[in-house]
Amino acid sequence: MQYQLYYWPTIQGRGEYVRLALEEAGASYSDVARSGNGMAAMMKLMETGQGKGSGTPPFAPPFLKAGKRLIGQTANILLYLGGRHGLAPKAEAGQLWVHQLQLTITDLVLEIHDTHHPLGPSLYYEEQKAPAKMRSDEFWKSRVPKYLGYFEQLLQASGGAWVTGRRLTYVDLSLFQIVEGLRYAFPRRMKAFEKEIPGLVGLRDRAAARPNIKAYLASDRRIAFNEDGIFRRYKALDT
């Protein structure tokens, strides 16, 4: 099947977790909004979806078109893809466990976003610099150790190279992205913190070395980090 991924065309954002899974799986997909009038197509799908009985209108990007189905919410898309592309266990119990971990990453991603937007997504960073600094300090003091410590422990206990054991899942790809993103956004803080998470640093390296991921990262399909995404490098927040 040829998938159509709909996401903002100039950022990695939440769409990146889906892109990494599609790339690792070697799935055929188009990144719709990045081509021709794809952005208009995405907006139209969101508008005509809502309130007109079209079935399953998404609240926000990313969403994935798979045949006639339109699936929204990052973790939900991964739940759908995981079982079909060998990126999650086959049994229901394993699928729910991997999904549970992805939902914990979802929570973390939102907290990362809030480091530069503690007053909400509708105001610019420049309008909330002082609260952003306080939130960032808090985030690195208590939240990063809690979240990454949790995944580090899971990894140490897994008995394999990946968080759930010997087989890679989409959660590992998402953790790769978390490490990459924190390195980009908070280079000084992350450098100091990495000694606490040797397992996750190794996992990041193993994920980056997988042939499909390596090829993806070297391609122009991988959008560079920038200050419109989730992970933003603001020097004032990194000290």
Ranges of beta strands (E only) in 32-167 are 63-66, 69-72
Nearer to a second copy, 76 or 212 (CB): 76
Residue 59 binding a second copy, by CB under 8 A:
yes
Residue 224 binding a second copy, by CB under 8 A:
no
Nearer to a second copy, 163 or 179 (CB): 163
Nearer to a second copy, 102 or 177 (CB): 102
Residue written as token pair 């990045």: 34
In sign, the C-alpha dihedral spanning 171, 173, 174, 178 is: positive
Contact mark string toward a second copy, 90..129, x via CB under 8 A: ---x--xx-xx--xx-xx--xx--x---xxxxxx----x-
Task: Looking at residues 64 to 93 of the shown chain, list those that interact with a second copy (rule: CB under 8 A).
Answer: 69, 71-73, 75-76, 79-80, 93
- Write out the H or E segment, with its range, that includes residue 5: strand 2-6
Residue 165 binding a second copy, by CB under 8 A:
no
Residue 32 binding a second copy, by CB under 8 A:
no
**In terms of C-beta density within 10 A (0-12 exposed, 13-18 middle, 19 or more buried), how is residue 157 classed?**
exposed
Nearer to a second copy, 13 or 72 (CB): 72
C-beta separation of 179 from 200 below 8 A: yes
Contact mark string toward a second copy, 35..54, x via CB under 8 A: ---------------xxxx-
Q: How many CB atoms neighbour CB 61 within 10 A?
A: 22
Nearer to a second copy, 43 or 224 (CB): 43
The tokens of 1 are what? Answer: 């099947």
Contacts 24+ apart (CB under 8 A), 162-169: 162/203, 162/206, 163/101, 163/203, 164/89, 164/94, 164/97, 164/98, 164/101, 167/89, 168/24, 168/87, 168/207, 168/210, 169/82, 169/87, 169/88, 169/89, 169/98
**Residue 147 Cβ vs a second copy, minimum distance, rounded to whole Å:** 8
Residue 142 binding a second copy, by CB under 8 A:
yes
| Cα 76 from Cα 217, distance rounded (Å) | 24
Nearer to a second copy, 16 or 213 (CB): 16
Residues engaged in binding a second copy (CB under 8 A): 50-53, 56-59, 69, 71-73, 75-76, 79-80, 93, 96-97, 99-100, 103-104, 106-107, 110-111, 114, 118-123, 128, 131, 134-135, 138-139, 141-143, 147, 150, 153-154, 156-157, 159
